[in-house]
Structure 1
Amino acid sequence: VISTARTCNCILIVLDAIKPITHKRLIEKELEGFGIRLNKEPPNLTFRKKDKGGINFTSTVANTHLDLETVKAICGEYRIHNADVTLRFDATADDLIDVIEGSRVYIPCIYVVNKIDQITLEELEILDKLPHYCPVSAHLEWNLDGLLEKIWEYLNLTRIYTKPKGMNPDYEDPVILSSKTRTVEDFCNRIHKDMLKQFKYALVWGSSAKHKPQRVGKEHELEDEDVVQIIKKV
């Protein structure tokens, strides 16, 4: 189960609203022990080994957790005596260890709190203010649509609709792209790997277009629910 979790794009942790919240922390500790970091971004620091020169420590911000001696001590635990370490945020020792080990994965997580039909309105209001939580009742089917919306938000995906020439857009079967790889080139590769060989330009309707339609090249970045028509070479 843990090995599967490491490959996920989003993790849902289902909690019981009428049981102690300590169960949440137990699950988090179990996942953290296997290198899974929930709702965190990779540390904004650079670690580079080198052949000589000792430990070189620089920072672009004020540090409250790390100094040169601490960095040397941590590197020494891994038998690293020559490296450049550059911090771009107020990193902790755990952040540096995560980067040195290099086996961490950073995954968005939603805490799905079930059985909200069995708690008071005051308790529900408290849960609703907590970060990354989504209260539901599976039995009464409360807020299941809200859960779907939250999953879509945390997956951070982009829906792109196709428009064949002379036809209406196909809104039933969008092409799904990651928000990190959503250029017209990525769109073409998702449809067929040979499409770029015939690509001339694309027409785009939607929020990424300055006017509708806008003629764009393969480097153009698409936005959610854009409509794209590919024009091929003759």
Structure 2
Amino acid sequence: MAATLAKIEEIETEMARTQKNKATSQHLGILKAKLAKLRRELIAPPKGGGGPSGEGFEVSKTGDARVGFIGFPSVGKSSLLTLLTGTASVAAAYEFTTLTCIPGMLYHNGAKIQMLDLPGIIEGAKDGKGRGRQVIAVARSCDLILIVLDASKPASHKRIIEKELEGFGIRLNKKPPPVLFRRKDRGGISFSSAVQTDLNLDVVKSVCAEYRLHNADFVVRGECSIDEIIDVIEGNRRYVPALYIVNMIDKITMEELELYHRMDRYVPICGKLQWNIDGLLEKIWDDLQLVRIYTKPKGVTVVDFSEPVILKNEERMRTVAAFCRRIHKTLENELKFALVWGRSTKFNPQKCGKDHVLCDEDVIQLVKQI
């Protein structure tokens, strides 16, 4: 690992002293590709070692969604987990109180949301310092990341944490690049773009050569950088929404709090005094974009709104067929049609097939084949 870190430092130094212009874009592209390959070596678990040691990091994924707390030590992550879930996570006035991943379950709007209290990370976590690799590896499995910041600490902590996560292949609040990438057996490298871009075939070819990729098609359909082309080739990036939780706002003045309004996607709270916890829950729910579907058994006039079936908000994940699979894997084949009430229909009830896309708080009644 020491040799890999030395190579990373050498490349980063060369990139820092290289001027950025069209003449150097090809050289910088090659350096970025080399850097991404070296970062991948750090991300990959050691061979034959059975994964990182230490209990508490292998937490089974349960519930309808997974949310992780990330932040420096002693910013209030453990207290927040206890407050939101009732799970006892040791909190104290010294750093590194939490040494393992502690799970808790938040019950909100009928959904079960798994909350993970992760140990505090330090600068250099992406390079293996502390237990950063294990912590960030768990963060990759989350549907939402809550970056917890201490309002009384420097605002630069936000950028440090973002850099650590990005170095581990996590792209915060970003969508996958608008690039169609296809490997092929012959024909060389082809590059086309539907929009005006600084990228060109020579730059893309130089990056592909670093990966020993000689035959592939790249079709760019929107704004794109060479870093995103590298992400597409690597193919192991995670695009995760993140909220910035500014905790301990009781320690700062109103004027200082106003500065945080410049930050996108931030939620000011005070866990100790329970300020704005409802606002935090609302933001978490909005970001997870879970869809609640209520069932109406045949012959029942009153719908039970206390236990919805939770679906993901992706269109393919909230069809009638997806709902059936969520109940039982054999139910989809037994389904004749579904009666649906709600915003997804033109009239109530509407007779729908398996491909009908459901909306939040729809009511459904399944009719099986005889």
Return the TM-score normalized by structure 2.
0.61
Give the aligned partner of residue 34 of structure 1: 168
For the 8 Å contact 1:128–1:135, the answer to whether it is kept is no
Does 140-149 or 44-53 show the bigger shift?
A: 44-53
Give the aligned partner of residue 111 of structure 1: 244
For the 8 Å contact 1:128–1:134, the answer to whether it is kept is no
For the 8 Å contact 2:293–2:364, the answer to whether it is kept is yes
Distance in 2 separating the partners of 1:226 and 1:126: 41
Deviations 1:69-121 (A, max 9, x none): 11111111112222211111121010000001111111111111101222222
Residue identity opposite 1:152 in structure 2: W
Deviations 1:182-222 (A, max 9, x none): 00111111111222233121111111111111111111100
Percent of matched pairs sharing the same residue? 58
Structure ranking higher in strand proportion: 1
Give the aligned partner of residue 159 of structure 2: 25
Q: Pick from 188, 194, 206: which aligns with 2:324?
A: 188
Which structure is higher in RCO with an 8 Å CA cutoff and minimum separation 6?
Answer: 1
For the 8 Å contact 1:61–1:89, the answer to whether it is kept is yes
Distance in 2 separating the partners of 1:36 and 1:142: 30
Give the aligned partner of residue 79 of structure 1: 212
For the 8 Å contact 2:178–2:223, the answer to whether it is kept is no
Change in 2 beyond 3 A, CA 1:59/1:206: same
Distance in 2 separating the partners of 1:166 and 1:8: 40
Give the aligned partner of residue 147 of structure 1: 280
Distance in 2 separating the partners of 1:112 and 1:93: 31
Displacement of 1:51 in angstroms is 2.6
Runs of at least 5 residues in structure 1 that lack an aligned partner in the other structure: none
Change in 2 beyond 3 A, CA 1:138/1:50: same
Residue identity opposite 1:182 in structure 2: R
Distance in 1 separating the partners of 2:325 and 2:319: 10
Change in 2 beyond 3 A, CA 1:197/1:75: closer
- Give the superposed CA RMSD: 1.4
5 Å-filtered alignment, 1:1-234, equals: 1-63=135-197, 65-167=198-300, 168-180=302-314, 181-234=317-370
Runs of at least 5 residues in structure 2 that lack an aligned partner in the other structure: 1-134
Distance in 2 separating the partners of 1:128 and 1:140: 21
Return the TM-score normalized by structure 1.
0.95
Change in 2 beyond 3 A, CA 1:129/1:228: farther
Deviations 1:163-193 (A, max 9, x none): 1123211111110000110001111111112
Secondary structure of 1:159's counterpart equals strand
